[in-house]
């Protein structure tokens, strides 16, 4: 899910979600134990850097597979 908002007049974009490959499907189908088991097994393969150059902002991947990323958007010309 992507949200755009203003923080002290600066436009900021936030992304939050869960790894799509299977993990989201487990949540959608209420297979919580399977979700937890697979999320735990994948932890070692998730990025550990707190900055993503392609996204151009901070990214956090939590142990449960959830992701939060923020970036400042360019100012709009009026």
| Domains in the chain: boundaries | 2-72
Sheet (strand 2-7) strand order: 2-7, 10-18, 66-72, 57-61, 51-52
Which tokens hold the place of 16?
């939050």
- pLDDT digits 0-9 by tens, 2-42: 899 998 989 999 999 887 667 888 888 999 999 889 888 88
Strand ranges for the chain from DSSP E: 2-7, 10-18, 51-52, 57-61, 66-72
Tell me, yes or no, if the pTM score tops 0.75.
Answer: no
3-state secondary structure of 12: strand
- pLDDT digits 0-9 by tens, 47-72: 788 898 988 999 998 888 888 999 99
Q: How confident is the model at residue 43 (pLDDT cuts 50, 70, 90)?
A: confident
Rounded CA-CA distance 10/22 in Å is: 35
pLDDT at 76 over 80: no
């Amino acid at each position: 899910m992507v949200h755009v908002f203003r923080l002290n007049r600066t436009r900021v974009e936030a992304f939050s979600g869960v790894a799509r490959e299977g993990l989201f499907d487990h949540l959608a189908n209420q297979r919580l134990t399977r979700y937890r088991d697979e999320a735990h097994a994948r932890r070692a393969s998730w990025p550990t850097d707190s900055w993503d150059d392609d996204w151009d902002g901070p990214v956090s991947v939590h142990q449960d597979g959830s992701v939060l990323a923020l970036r400042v958007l360019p100012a709009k010309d009026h």
